[in-house]
């Protein structure tokens, strides 16, 4: 039996969140009976339970602000080591999601190495670029990322752009990487057009099916809300802009309102959050188009979900979004008037053009981003990848996980 310990997500069952959804799908769709998953779950108490056939171990972490996530990962690692030793497990791997614990990582890595445990790390995106962090925290994130890259046995990148960045910025460490994307579900929402849940939401927010553009994402600077709202206000569309995000106690929202005065434009509608996944998918399906302003690296889950569900997609033109959308979307830049012009272009699309772009978007998901494909790739990785922990740290096997060979800087 191969034991895979996953830490860094908040845990499962998952209501929302990229890493949480990934772990939910990975465990729910498991086909390899030779793999046993152990999933760390953030909690206020210790305990264990089973979910999707995985052992879920609760890690109690005090509420200490933003440092809680770092402590959570460290306590999770400590628990992994304790459990492996206590049960004398062999053939184990630890998969760490995100690079939060770099300054503290090496002592744990050495213990795991001496136990014959392989450590894999998902570097996520450019966390050190996020606008919500001050200069000191950004510096911590960059240092933490560097140290995680240095000491990991393998980096699993969910974006080719991130994989390229890892090899370019950290070439001196000769990092081993592989690419396995994030996933999306092409199945339609289980809600129909007359669902009371849907009709209630549409009525509450005065939204008409097919007559709105949609934005979904965290209300943070790097998601370019200011740019998109200003451009939308310049556009001549009569459709609403429906924004699904949390704005409670968010100073950025008040600042943006003062700057843009979007409260004077009846088309701009902030509607809060939607956690029920089938309702959220139905809202995507009924939108005329989806606007995506994320610019900080990695494959963004909300973009994949939009390409899988929404007919027209308008994306901020950065390498990470181009990588995913390719010719299944239109792109806008930060240049004044760019997005407004693209909206005007989309408004002139006829049914044939809409169906053609929709088919290309869904084709991108079908070709590379279905959950079944992603889970199969991870199972192959967990089953096959092994490192001999010696001074050379040689790779025992080099399988092709997703049609791309494992890469190492030369």
pLDDT per position as a tens digit, 158-199: 989 899 989 999 999 999 999 999 999 899 999 999 999 999
Average confidence (pLDDT) over 357-369? 95
Do 151 and 166 have their domain in common? yes
Confidence of residue 388 (pLDDT cuts 50, 70, 90): low
**Residue 286 confidence (pLDDT) above 80:** yes
- Distance of alpha carbon 70 from alpha carbon 351, whole angstroms: 50
Do 15 and 148 have their domain in common? yes
**Residue 325 confidence (pLDDT) above 90:** yes
Query: Has residue 223 been placed in a domain?
Result: yes
**156 Cα distance to chain centroid:** 13
Average confidence (pLDDT) over 29-39? 96
Confidence of residue 408 (pLDDT cuts 50, 70, 90): low
With CA atoms as reference, report the closest residue to 177 among 207, 157, 160: 157
Confidence of residue 394 (pLDDT cuts 50, 70, 90): very low
Query: Has residue 188 been placed in a domain?
Result: no
Contact criterion met (CB below 8 Å) for 364 and 313: no
- Distance of alpha carbon 79 from alpha carbon 87, whole angstroms: 12
Query: Has residue 67 been placed in a domain?
Result: yes
Do 22 and 135 have their domain in common? yes
Confidence of residue 14 (pLDDT cuts 50, 70, 90): confident
> Tell me: the pLDDT tens digits for 131-159?
667 788 889 889 999 999 999 999 999 98
| Per-residue model confidence (pLDDT) at position 391 | 37
**Residue 34 confidence (pLDDT) above 90:** yes
Do 149 and 160 have their domain in common? yes
Query: Has residue 405 been placed in a domain?
Result: no
Do 31 and 128 have their domain in common? yes
**Residue 83 confidence (pLDDT) above 90:** yes
Average confidence (pLDDT) over 101-123? 95
Do 39 and 127 have their domain in common? yes
| Per-residue model confidence (pLDDT) at position 52 | 97
b/e per residue, 336-373, with b = 16+ CB within 10 A? eebbbebbeebeebeeeeeeebbebbbebbeebbbbeb
**235 Cα distance to chain centroid:** 30
Confidence of residue 308 (pLDDT cuts 50, 70, 90): very high
**Residue 387 confidence (pLDDT) above 80:** no
Confidence of residue 220 (pLDDT cuts 50, 70, 90): confident
Joined tokens for residue 111? 């213990």
Do 321 and 243 have their domain in common? yes
| Per-residue model confidence (pLDDT) at position 66 | 79
| Per-residue model confidence (pLDDT) at position 409 | 55
**Residue 261 confidence (pLDDT) above 50:** yes
Do 350 and 388 have their domain in common? no
With CA atoms as reference, report the closest residue to 156 among 381, 399, 396, 388: 381
Q: For residue 264, how many other CB atoms are within 10 A of its CB?
A: 9
Average confidence (pLDDT) over 257-284? 93
Average confidence (pLDDT) over 228-232? 97
| Per-residue model confidence (pLDDT) at position 380 | 96
Do 161 and 287 have their domain in common? no
Query: Has residue 402 been placed in a domain?
Result: no
- Mean per-residue pLDDT of the chain: 91
Note down the domain range covering 224. Answer: 196-368
Do 362 and 374 have their domain in common? no
Do 364 and 374 have their domain in common? no
- Distance of alpha carbon 201 from alpha carbon 189, whole angstroms: 15
Per the structure, the count of domains in the chain is 2
The separation between the first and the last C-alpha atoms of the chain, rounded to the nearest angstrom, is 34
| Per-residue model confidence (pLDDT) at position 124 | 84
Residues above pLDDT 90, as percent of the chain: 76
The tokens 């740019």 sit on which residue? 227
Query: Has residue 233 been placed in a domain?
Result: yes
The tokens 């494909």 sit on which residue? 373
Do 363 and 237 have their domain in common? yes
Confidence of residue 398 (pLDDT cuts 50, 70, 90): very low
| Per-residue model confidence (pLDDT) at position 390 | 40
Confidence of residue 401 (pLDDT cuts 50, 70, 90): very low
pTM for this entry: 0.87
Question: Residues near 390 by Cβ (< 8 Å), separated by ≥ 6?
Answer: none
Query: Has residue 409 been placed in a domain?
Result: no
Confidence of residue 395 (pLDDT cuts 50, 70, 90): very low
Query: Has residue 252 been placed in a domain?
Result: yes
Residue 279's CATH number: 3.40.50.2000
């Amino acid at each position: 039996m191969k034991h895979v310990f996953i830490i860094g997500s908040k845990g499962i069952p998952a209501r929302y969140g990229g890493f949480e959804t990934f772990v939910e799908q990975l465990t729910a769709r498991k086909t390899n009976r030779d793999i046993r998953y152990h999933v760390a779950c953030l909690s206020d108490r210790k305990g264990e339970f089973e979910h999707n056939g995985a052992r879920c171990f609760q890690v109690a972490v005090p509420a200490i602000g933003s440092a809680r996530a770092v402590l959570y990962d460290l306590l999770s690692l400590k628990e992994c080591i304790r459990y492996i030793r206590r049960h004398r497990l062999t053939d184990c791997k630890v998969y760490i999601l995100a690079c939060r614990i770099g300054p503290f990582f090496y002592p744990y890595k050495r213990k795991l190495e001496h136990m014959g445990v392989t450590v894999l790390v998902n570097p996520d995106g450019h966390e050190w670029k996020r606008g919500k962090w001050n200069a000191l925290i950004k510096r911590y994130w960059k240092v933490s990322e560097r140290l995680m890259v240095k000491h990991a046995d393998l980096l699993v990148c969910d974006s080719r752009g991130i994989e390229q960045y890892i090899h370019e910025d950290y070439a001196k460490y000769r990092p081993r990487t592989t690419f396995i994307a994030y996933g999306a579900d092409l199945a339609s929402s289980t809600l129909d057009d007359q669902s009371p849940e849907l009709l209630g939401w549409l009525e509450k927010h005065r939204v008409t099916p097919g007559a709105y553009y949609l934005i979904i994402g965290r209300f943070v600077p790097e998601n370019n809300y200011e740019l998109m709202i200003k451009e939308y206000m310049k556009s001549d569309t009569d459709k609403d802009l429906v924004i699904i995000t949390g704005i409670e106690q968010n100073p950025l929202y008040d600042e943006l309102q003062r700057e843009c005065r979007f409260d004077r434009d009846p088309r701009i509608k902030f509607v809060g959050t939607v956690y029920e996944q089938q309702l959220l998918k139905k809202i995507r399906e009924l939108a005329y188009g989806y606007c995506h302003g994320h610019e900080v690296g990695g494959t963004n889950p909300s973009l994949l979900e939009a390409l899988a569900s929404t007919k027209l997609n308008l994306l901020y033109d950065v390498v990470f979004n181009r990588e995913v959308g390719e010719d299944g979307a239109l792109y806008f830049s930060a240049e004044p008037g760019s997005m407004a012009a693209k909206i005007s272009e989309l408004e002139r699309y006829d049914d044939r053009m809409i169906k053609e772009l929709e088919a290309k978007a869904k084709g991108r998901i079908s070709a590379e981003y279905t959950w079944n494909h992603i889970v199969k790739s991870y199972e192959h990785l967990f089953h096959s990848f092994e490192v001999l922990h010696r001074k050379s740290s040689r790779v025992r096997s080099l399988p092709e996980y997703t049609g791309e060979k494992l890469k190492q800087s030369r």
